[in-house]
Amino acid sequence: MNDPTESIHRLEEKIAYLERHVTAQDKAMLEMSDALKRLSREVKMLREREAGGGAGGGGEESAAEERPPHY
């Protein structure tokens, strides 16, 4: 039969592993949350730029829409 102290030791090791794992998952979730917030702000900014692009005119967008010269 197993020694009770050995069983307790194995359980303590498993708990320590799970605590480290949960901490690592929490850190990853916070990083992903920050990245999602940043990307959401960038998408919003790009949508606003796209929506306001026709009224502002000029710049890169008009150069991209310009017809290329005939060769």
The residues spanned by each domain of the chain are 4-53
Looking at per-residue confidence, does 9 or 71 come out higher? 9
> What confidence score (pLDDT) does residue 71 get?
61
> What confidence score (pLDDT) does residue 35 get?
97
* 15 DSSP assignment: H
pLDDT in tens, 11-70: 999 999 999 999 999 999 999 999 999 999 999 999 999 998 755 555 555 666 677 777
Phi, psi dihedral angles at 42 (to 5 degrees) = -65, -40
> What confidence score (pLDDT) does residue 8 get?
97
> What confidence score (pLDDT) does residue 54 get?
56
